[in-house]
Amino acid sequence: MAISPGARPYLIVIIVVLVVAGIVVAKLPRDEEGAPSAARTTTTTPPVVDAEGGDGAGDAYYPQDGNTGYDVSGYDVSVSYDPATKRLDGVATITARATTDLTRFNLDLYALEVTGVDVRDQAAEHRQEGDHELVVTPATPLTAGEEFTTTVRYGGEPTLFEDRALGRSGWQVSAGGGAFAAGEPHSATTWFPANDTPRDKATFALTARVPEGWSVISNGVEAGATTTDGWTSFRWVADQPMATYLTTIAIDKWIVERSTLPDGTPVVDAYAPGAENGRQHQERLPEVLGFLAEKFGPYPFSSAGGIFLADDIGFSLETQTRPIYAGWADLDTVVHENAHQWFGDSVSLENWADICLNECFASYAQWLWAEAKEGVDLDERYRAEVERVDDRETYWNRKLYDMGRGNEFRGVYDKGQLALHALRRQVGDPAFDRLVKEWTAAHRDGNASWPEFEAHVERVSGQDLDAFFGAWFRGAEVPADEFLYPGPLRR
């Protein structure tokens, strides 16, 4: 994600979190051969165990985000939205696998009313609790390992999340009267029901119906559009797994431009009326993605592009395959958000405490671009920045790992750049290049944590870096000189 210049020039934000907790299911006693114990029951049908998926995945910062008891493999969402009334009506079909026996389970949906739920094509009981919990009770219990579908019918006027530390995210009405959904750590559940945790990545498909004259941009590949009775339906399909906060829908009277990357990957760029200035930066997307592929490994997705708003919102965001850009976005922002396609999107964080894996790398990608394309001496830039902030305690007291809820984005955009450049100089360019590419390859389409990254760096470099990581990423003070000026950084 990228922060607006008014908040902090050339810095960029994304946010993302989640942890999956286990569910303890009561087990009935059995004899040594595995048969039911006589002390238990003599009936042929065992009693139903009351087993419920939890209403939170257990992330330390956002413990009630997401749910347990099942693993989603795909979302297929159909919505109708009328910009004149601001009403959205939707049907979401969620394909999942039960990870334990379940008599009921939860989904997340924010401020929209559910009118019906089916599980395995049978009507299921449902109730909405708190501000985002949808509790579903199937007609018959689910068994561990069973694949099942849940269909949710819902509607209302979508809204957004307001967070004092993280700002606004979710569904927003755009300057041109349309709408878009973007933000982290929350966004998706303001317009469709989901297991809202980055750990539960899934494929995503969208059919969006809007009045004729409006159009819809989303993630993935275009799959056609049809117009009937004054309404047009647009179909988008993303067949590689993504975290829910990386999904988007953007409704406007778009100027759409289509092209391909040199390898044939389709590119769809969309500009809202008044956002055409973004074209001068987006025209360099093939060059940007080619450069990032040299640094991070092959581009990880089967489509690319960008969504350019006329709105001066406070961030741009790395919505998967097609970042969404605020009106102030520049070329640095395009580099940053597309670096996230590797760091954050393809390789997603395990917990929100791991956010440096997303933001530190996307921010350092801007430095790498400046080095390669503008001839910037990064060692000199590094020393100048260290000297500039040397006496500022508030600069150094921001942890880059496990920084605490609400502090996820305080240091990752600027201190994070310094930390990764120091790491590069500590291990040397050959090891740094190797560890980055091996990391993105090993965790492609999955999740990873910061401690795993530390172990990976030590394994590739052959160095004991506990003290280095403690000084730069886990600490909250100026690193000692041996870590502040490693290798060629020492004059």
Residue 78 in contact with residue 113, Cβ under 8 Å? no
Domain interval for residue 406: 355-484
Q: Are residues 314 and 395 in the same domain?
A: no
The confidence score (pLDDT) of residue 12 equals 35
The confidence score (pLDDT) of residue 165 equals 63
Residue 351 phi, psi dihedral angles, 5° rounding: -135, 160
The confidence score (pLDDT) of residue 3 equals 63
The DSSP H or E segment spanning 217 is strand 215-218
How far is residue 327 from each of residues 7, 178, 451, 454, 459, measured CA to CA in Å? 14, 15, 36, 37, 42
The confidence score (pLDDT) of residue 51 equals 67
**For residues 147 and 154, what is the distance between their CA atoms, to the nearest angstrom?**
23
Is residue 133 domain-resident? yes
Q: What is the pTM of this model?
A: 0.89
Q: What letter would DSSP give residue 35?
A: P
Q: Are residues 311 and 420 in the same domain?
A: no
The confidence score (pLDDT) of residue 99 equals 96
**What token pair was written down for 340?**
């996230």
Burial of 234 (0-12, 13-18, 19+ CB in 10 A): buried
Residue 22 has pLDDT above 50, yes or no: no
9 band by pLDDT with thresholds 50, 70 and 90: very low
Q: Which among 322, 348, 374 is the end of a domain?
A: 348
More confident of the two residues 64 and 431: 431
Q: Are residues 401 and 308 in the same domain?
A: no
Is residue 387 domain-resident? yes
Q: Are residues 328 and 378 in the same domain?
A: no
For residue 315, what are the β-bridge partners?
3
For residue 137, what are the β-bridge partners?
125
Residue 291 in contact with residue 373, Cβ under 8 Å? yes
Task: Give mean pLDDT, residues 82-106.
Answer: 97
Residue 17 has pLDDT above 50, yes or no: no
The confidence score (pLDDT) of residue 213 equals 97
Q: Are residues 186 and 315 in the same domain?
A: no
Q: Which among 303, 325, 348 is the end of a domain?
A: 348
Q: Are residues 344 and 360 in the same domain?
A: no
Is residue 286 domain-resident? yes
Count of domains for the chain: 3
**For residues 446 and 243, what is the distance between their CA atoms, to the nearest angstrom?**
10
Residue 118 has pLDDT above 80, yes or no: yes
- Which of 111-115, 184-188, 293-297, 365-369 has the weakest average pLDDT? 184-188
User: Among candidates 59, 338, 11, which has minimal Cα distance to 185?
Assistant: 59
11 band by pLDDT with thresholds 50, 70 and 90: very low
Query: Could you write out the three-class secondary structure of 83-148?
Result: CCCCEEEEEEEEEEEECCCECEEEEECCCCEEEEEEECCEECEEEEECCCEEEEECCCCECCCCEE
Residue 435 in contact with residue 461, Cβ under 8 Å? yes
CATH code for position 98: 2.60.40.1730
CB atoms within 10 A of CB 9: 11
Is residue 29 domain-resident? no
Q: Which among 313, 329, 348 is the end of a domain?
A: 348
Q: Are residues 300 and 339 in the same domain?
A: yes
Rg (CA), the chain: 24
The structure tokens 């810095």 sit at 11
Tens digits of residue pLDDT in 458-486: 999 999 999 999 999 999 999 999 999 99
Is residue 168 domain-resident? no
**Beta-strand relationship, 133-137 and 347-349:** unpaired
More confident of the two residues 269 and 53: 269
Q: Are residues 323 and 457 in the same domain?
A: no
Tens digits of residue pLDDT in 162-197: 876 667 889 999 999 999 999 998 899 999 999 999
**Beta-strand relationship, 160-163 and 167-173:** antiparallel
| HSE (side-chain half, CA atoms, 13 Å) at 78 | 7
Q: Are residues 475 and 338 in the same domain?
A: no
**For residues 489 and 76, what is the distance between their CA atoms, to the nearest angstrom?**
51
**For residues 72 and 94, what is the distance between their CA atoms, to the nearest angstrom?**
7
Tens digits of residue pLDDT in 232-289: 999 999 999 999 999 999 999 999 999 999 999 999 999 999 999 999 999 999 999 9
Q: Are residues 119 and 147 in the same domain?
A: yes
Q: How far is CA 276 from the centre of its chain?
A: 26
CATH code for position 392: 1.10.390.10
Is residue 377 domain-resident? yes
Tens digits of residue pLDDT in 424-465: 999 999 999 999 999 999 999 999 999 999 999 999 999 999
Is residue 56 domain-resident? yes
How far is residue 43 from each of residues 29, 35, 47, 292, measured CA to CA in Å? 14, 12, 9, 63
* Mean model confidence pLDDT for the chain: 90
Q: Are residues 190 and 63 in the same domain?
A: yes
The confidence score (pLDDT) of residue 4 equals 57
Q: H helices within 236-284, ranges in order?
A: 279-282
Q: Going by C-beta distance under 8 Å and a sequence separation of 6 or more, which residues neighbour residue 368?
A: 295
Q: Are residues 342 and 464 in the same domain?
A: no
Task: Give mean pLDDT, residues 322-344.
Answer: 97
**Beta-strand relationship, 202-211 and 215-218:** unpaired
How far is residue 59 from each of residues 28, 196, 358, 457, measured CA to CA in Å? 30, 11, 17, 25
Is residue 122 domain-resident? yes
